[in-house]
């Protein structure tokens, strides 16, 4: 059975830099508070009217294709992980196909909604397709535009200071090489705390607050499809909400747990790792996990300081940068891991 290798990788972040000082214009916060709690110094936001999640993804995807030495037309399956799609539906996979000029229809496009773990889940799905021989060139992309959905008032500051826009992509291909490719992925979920890190509306759950007459038209004057009403706008439920302390508490337990589990299943230990690339949730979480795993600083790659948390895009952006900087080399044992909304978490071990 073939293994799945990352044949090419690329990323793209918007040019617009927003420092912590820039955010102070919109909300009551300080550079010190943001750095101390999250490690973030600046993030990138799209220039409105110029980019969407899909156009960022297309730029990252073209870079990944170039690195792999293939043309977009050679891609036979697209997996798109995002929590900030261009449209409520259709998903962004087909939009990316169009944006890349892929006109053939013998291609599938799948959308993944696993937020921070979207890239790990996508990699695991792609791995099964490659191993089964179904596809030969899978494009997996994680892309986010958070800047159009955040609450930049003081009310939303515990969330809005954390996130940034960006995209990262990989081209996955089969390989017969024994010393290269995905070794193992492990995925987890626990829906108990689903509403502790979420955007509630629009969504069918909003219909729970509507009377069962005239589709709610009388009482709750919908102002948009999918249960977007004036009440929901008033409540601000279309912005992300996060119980930060609860997320932190779970993340620092689940990250090490799943990493130790994949390592032990492969009869390896953290001492064997050449590089650990955690989802860039919060620098404090990454540092905590690094300490538990006993990893030296040069065995962990973090770039949240420059980009903030880019959710599904954070792992491929960080991996792409680490490869470009020569910090990840052929044959290196690399561990990717993520924890996020859902809650979902997971880890992948691979040989570069
Ligand atoms: N600037 C200044 N003060 C702030 C800010 C801000 N941006 N945000 C919150 N505060 C204030 C609060 O109002 C509160 O003030 P009070 O004590 O007077 O009430 C105080 O700071 C503490 O607020 P908490 O929300 O309890 O802050 P906490 O210490 O938990 O830090 C943080 C918040 C950084 C979000 C932290 O909980 C955390 O890191 N959680 C992990 C969550 C995370 O990393 N999420 C991203 C990953 S999730 C994902 O990737 C999908």
Tens-place pLDDT, residues 85-139:
999 999 999 999 999 999 999 999 999 999 999 999 999 999 999 999 999 999 9
Is the predicted pLDDT of residue 215 greater than 60, yes or no? no
Q: Are residues 189 and 51 in the same domain?
A: no
Nearest CA to ligand 1 atom 46: 281
Ligand 1 atom closest to Cα of residue 281: 47
Q: Are residues 222 and 116 in the same domain?
A: no
Q: Are residues 251 and 305 in the same domain?
A: yes
Q: How confident is the model at residue 221 (pLDDT cuts 50, 70, 90)?
A: low
For ligand 1, residues with CB inside 6 Å are: 29, 33-34, 37-38, 115-116, 157-158, 161-162, 197, 242, 244-245, 247-248, 281-282, 285, 309, 311, 340-341
Q: Are residues 190 and 302 in the same domain?
A: yes
d(CA 81, CA 89): 14
Q: Quick one: average pLDDT of 197-214? A: 74
CATH of the domain at 167: 3.40.47.10
Is the predicted pLDDT of residue 28 greater than 60, yes or no? yes
Q: Quick one: average pLDDT of 172-196? A: 96
Q: Are residues 345 and 267 in the same domain?
A: yes
Q: Are residues 29 and 154 in the same domain?
A: yes
Q: How confident is the model at residue 232 (pLDDT cuts 50, 70, 90)?
A: confident
Contact 203, 32 (CB under 8 A): no
CA of 327 to the centre of ligand 1 (A): 32
Chain center to CA of 65: 19
Is the predicted pLDDT of residue 216 greater than 70, yes or no? no
d(CA 149, CA 164): 11
Is the predicted pLDDT of residue 310 greater than 90, yes or no? yes
Residues with catalytic roles = 116, 279, 309
CA of 47 to the centre of ligand 1 (A): 27
Q: Are residues 118 and 228 in the same domain?
A: no
Rounded percentage of the chain residues whose pLDDT exceeds 90: 88
How many distinct structural domains can be found in the chain?
3
CA of 238 to the centre of ligand 1 (A): 19
Residues with Cβ within 8 Å of residue 224, at least 6 apart in sequence: 202
Q: Are residues 133 and 74 in the same domain?
A: yes
Q: How many CB atoms lie within 10 A of CB 251?
A: 25
| pLDDT tens track for 61-77 | 999 999 999 999 999 99
Q: Are residues 164 and 205 in the same domain?
A: no
Look at residue 224 in the predicted model and tell me its pLDDT: 55
Q: Are residues 303 and 335 in the same domain?
A: yes
Q: Quick one: average pLDDT of 239-265? A: 96
Is the predicted pLDDT of residue 34 greater than 60, yes or no? yes
Q: Quick one: average pLDDT of 294-310? A: 98
Q: Are residues 166 and 247 in the same domain?
A: no
Look at residue 217 in the predicted model and tell me its pLDDT: 52
Q: What is the pTM of this model?
A: 0.95
Look at residue 225 in the predicted model and tell me its pLDDT: 59
Domain carrying residue 231 = 200-235
Q: Are residues 45 and 169 in the same domain?
A: yes
Interstrand relation of 228-229 and 222-224 (parallel, antiparallel or unpaired): antiparallel
Nearest CA to ligand 1 atom 15: 158
Structure tokens at 216: 């709610």
């Amino acid at each position: 059975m073939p293994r799945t290798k990352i044949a090419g990788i690329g990323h793209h972040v918007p040019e617009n830099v927003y420092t912590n000082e820039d955010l102070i214009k919109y909300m009551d916060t300080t550079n010190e508070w943001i750095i101390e709690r999250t490690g973030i110094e600046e993030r990138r936001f799209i220039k409105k009217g110029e980019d969407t999640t899909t156009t960022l993804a297309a730029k990252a995807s073209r870079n990944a294709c170039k690195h792999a030495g293939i043309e977009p037309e050679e891609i036979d399956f697209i997996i798109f992980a995002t929590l900030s799609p261009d449209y409520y539906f259709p998903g962004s996979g087909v939009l990316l196909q169009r944006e890349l000029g892929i006109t053939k229809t013998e291609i599938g496009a799948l959308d993944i909604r696993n937020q921070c773990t979207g890239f790990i889940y996508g990699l695991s799905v792609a791995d099964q397709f490659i191993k089964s021989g179904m596809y030969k060139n899978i494009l997996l992309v994680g892309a986010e535009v958070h800047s159009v959905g955040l609450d930049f008032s003081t009310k939303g500051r515990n969330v809005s200071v954390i996130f940034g826009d960006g995209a990262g992509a990989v081209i996955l291909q089969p390989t017969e090489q024994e010393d290269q490719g995905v070794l193992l992925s492990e995925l987890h979920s626990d829906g108990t705390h689903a509403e502790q890190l979420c955007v509630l509306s629009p969504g069918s759950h909003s219909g729970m607050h509507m009377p069962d007459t005239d589709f709610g038209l009388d009482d709750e004057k919908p102002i948009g499809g999918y249960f977007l009403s004036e009440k929901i706008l008033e409540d601000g439920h279309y912005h992300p909400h996060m119980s930060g302390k609860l997320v932190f508490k779970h993340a620092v337990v689940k990250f090490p747990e799943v990493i130790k589990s994949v390592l032990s299943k492969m009869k390896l230990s953290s001492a064997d790792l050449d590089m650990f690339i955690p989802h860039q949730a919060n620098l404090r979480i990454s540092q905590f996990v690094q300490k538990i795993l006993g990893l030296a600083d040069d065995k962990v790659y973090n770039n949240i300081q420059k980009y903030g948390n880019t959710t599904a895009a954070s792992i491929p952006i960080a991996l792409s940068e680490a490869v470009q900087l020569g910090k990840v080399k052929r044959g290196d044992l690399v561990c990717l891991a993520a924890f996020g909304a859902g809650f979902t978490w997971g880890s992948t071990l691979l040989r570069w």
